């Protein structure tokens, strides 16, 4: 089997590339090597049989068209994904997450052999009050420039699939975490700063809830979705763990796993428009026999160990990738005025 994976040097993409190669797939990884990509996430993969790397942008339709030829599946992980950055630079999210997807869809139109799998998010539904859970038919209500771009992309996938009879699967996941995740995100940011003994900027009251899924469990969900019989329409499927906890609880666990005092946690000014809670109903995926295997506390322990053991991989994101400037803009004033818990 042959796959075109976009964004394969990023967090989720790199795990998917490795999983497919292990299962004997031929994999072409198309990655634009933006700040969020880390080629070190794929150390050792370059020399593997069946692996090809192409540096390029999903917005380059002719390039994508050439790469799609002969692929059985196209898996799209190329995206701008960080909500905080979308609040600083919304237009770049429309470019990568909407125009990029339209470009991919245009490239796929003439290739009936290829099934399209598109990575989406529980954030397209906006915040849900407990005990609500979003099933696959929940109406969209995105609130951030990031989630609005992902919702717009999904609508394009739906429109192309409907109009041109293209097979497409949209996978909406909750918060995924684990090795290789960029240090801008909550869990890696808190782990790496806790390791360094630096303050941990917790937005608002820290009582927001997220549903956390370990990366290996996401990969097994994706593989189950790829194995589904093909349909010439669009289908959506949810991959959530059901494990919903507050950010404060996650931060406290990170302090305990890194043997740091909770006094490192600093409540800071909240993210504008911060969604309070996401929750997915993943019974369709569970109906396929899929189950998440890694509970949050074990996944967090594994993740902490990985960041402790692999600074040579994750610290690449700290140097020469503009992270310092981003950190200044995002956190300097916030942390300056922060007290301990
Ligand atoms: O829900 C799925 C989504 O999860 C994905 O679609 C996104 O691509 C991914 O970035 C993630 O979005 P979140 O905004 O939930 O993730 P983030 O790691 O940025 O933040 C997780 C929670 O932690 C959120 O409630 C905000 C909070 N937070 C985050 C950061 C970076 C803090 O309290 N302090 C921080 O410094």
- Tens-binned pLDDT, residue by residue, of the chain (341 aa): 999 999 999 999 999 999 999 999 999 999 999 999 999 999 999 999 999 999 999 999 999 999 999 999 999 999 999 999 999 999 999 999 999 999 999 999 989 899 999 999 999 999 999 999 999 999 999 999 999 999 999 999 999 999 999 999 999 999 999 999 999 999 999 999 999 999 999 999 999 999 999 999 999 999 999 999 988 889 999 999 999 999 999 999 999 999 999 999 999 999 999 999 999 999 999 999 999 999 999 999 999 999 999 999 999 998 878 999 999 999 999 999 899 88
Nearest to 173 by CA among 117, 227, 230, 104: 117
Nearest to 180 by CA among 215, 221, 217: 215
Query: What's the pLDDT at 245?
Result: 98
Query: What's the pLDDT at 216?
Result: 99
CA-to-CA separations, 179 to 121, 183, 244, 267, 271, in angstroms, rounded: 19, 10, 20, 26, 25
CATH number, residue 89: 3.40.50.720
For a pocket test of ligand 1, which of 11, 81, 83, 273 has the largest count of ligand atoms closer than 8 A to its C-beta? 83
Work out how many domains the chain is built from and give that number.
Answer: 1
Is 332 inside a domain boundary? no
Strand order, beta sheet including 209-214? 175-177, 209-214, 244-246
Active site residues: 122-123, 146
Is 196 inside a domain boundary? no
Please report how the helices 100-108 and 61-68 are oriented relative to each other, as an axis angle in degrees rounded to 10. Answer: 40
- Determine whether 34 is exposed, middle or buried from the number of CB atoms within 10 Å of its CB (0-12, 13-18, 19+): middle
* C-alpha 301: how far from chain center: 20
Is 303 inside a domain boundary? no
Q: For residue 17, how far is its CA from the centre of ligand 1 (angstroms)?
A: 24
Q: For residue 176, how far is its CA from the centre of ligand 1 (angstroms)?
A: 10
- Determine whether 146 is exposed, middle or buried from the number of CB atoms within 10 Å of its CB (0-12, 13-18, 19+): buried
Contact 52, 151 (CB under 8 A): no
Residue 189 CB less than 6 A away from ligand 1: yes
Is 183 inside a domain boundary? no
Is 125 inside a domain boundary? yes
Residue 121 CB less than 6 A away from ligand 1: yes
Cβ-proximal residues to 220 (8 Å cutoff; 6+ apart), any chain: 290, 293
Q: For residue 86, how far is its CA from the centre of ligand 1 (angstroms)?
A: 12
Is 274 inside a domain boundary? no
Residue 97 CB less than 6 A away from ligand 1: no
The residue count for the chain? 341
pLDDT tens-place string over residues 250-305: 999 999 999 999 999 999 999 999 999 999 999 999 999 999 999 999 999 999 99
pLDDT tens-place string over residues 193-206: 999 999 999 999 99
Tell me which residue has its CA closest to atom 35 in ligand 1.
186
Q: For residue 185, how far is its CA from the centre of ligand 1 (angstroms)?
A: 6
Q: What is the pTM of this model?
A: 0.98
Is 272 inside a domain boundary? no
Domain that holds residue 69: 2-177+213-239
- d(Cα 281, Cα 32) in Å, to the nearest integer? 33
Is 336 inside a domain boundary? no
Query: What's the pLDDT at 232?
Result: 85
Which of helix, strand or coil describes residue 284?
A: helix
Please report how the helices 247-257 and 186-195 are oriented relative to each other, as an axis angle in degrees rounded to 10. Answer: 30
Residue 83 CB less than 6 A away from ligand 1: yes
Q: What would the two tokens of residue 173 be?
A: 């996941």
């Amino acid at each position: 089997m042959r796959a075109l994976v976009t964004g394969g040097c990023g967090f989720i993409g790199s795990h998917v590339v490795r999983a497919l190669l292990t299962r004997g797939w031929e994999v072409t990884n198309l990655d634009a090597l933006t700040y969020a990509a880390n080629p070190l996430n794929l150390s050792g993969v370059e020399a593997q049989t069946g692996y090809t790397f192409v540096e390029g942008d999903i917005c380059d339709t002719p390039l994508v068209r050439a790469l799609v030829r002969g692929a059985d599946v196209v898996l799209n992980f190329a995206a701008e994904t960080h909500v905080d950055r979308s609040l600083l630079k919304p237009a770049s999210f429309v470019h990568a997450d909407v125009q990029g997807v339209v470009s991919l869809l245009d490239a796929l139109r003439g290739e009936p052999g290829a099934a399209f799998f598109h990575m989406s998010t529980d954030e397209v539904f906006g915040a849900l009050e407990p005990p609500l859970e979003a099933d696959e038919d929940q109406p969209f209500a995105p609130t951030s420039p990031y989630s609005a771009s992902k919702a717009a992309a999904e609508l394009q996938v739906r429109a192309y699939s409907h109009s041109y009879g293209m097979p497409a699967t949209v996978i909406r996941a909750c918060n995924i975490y684990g090795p290789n995740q960029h240090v801008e995100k909550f869990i890696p940011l808190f782990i790496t700063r806790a390791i360094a003994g630096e303050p941990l900027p917790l937005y608002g009251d820290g009582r927001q809830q997220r549903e956390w899924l370990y990366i290996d469990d996401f990969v097994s969900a994706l593989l189950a979705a790829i194995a589904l019989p093909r349909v010439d329409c669009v289908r959506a499927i949810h991959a959530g763990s059901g494990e919903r906890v507050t950010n404060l609880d996650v931060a406290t666990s990170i302090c305990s796993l890194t043997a740091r005092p909770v006094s490192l946690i600093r409540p800071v000014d909240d993210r504008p428009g911060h969604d309070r809670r996401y929750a997915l109903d993943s019974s369709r995926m569970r109906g396929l026999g899929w189950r998440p295997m890694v509970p949050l506390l074990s996944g967090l322990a594994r993740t902490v160990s990985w960041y402790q053991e692999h600074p040579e991989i994750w610290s690449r994101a700290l140097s020469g990738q503009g992270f310092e400037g981003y950190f200044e803009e995002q956190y300097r004033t916030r942390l300056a005025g922060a007290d301990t818990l």
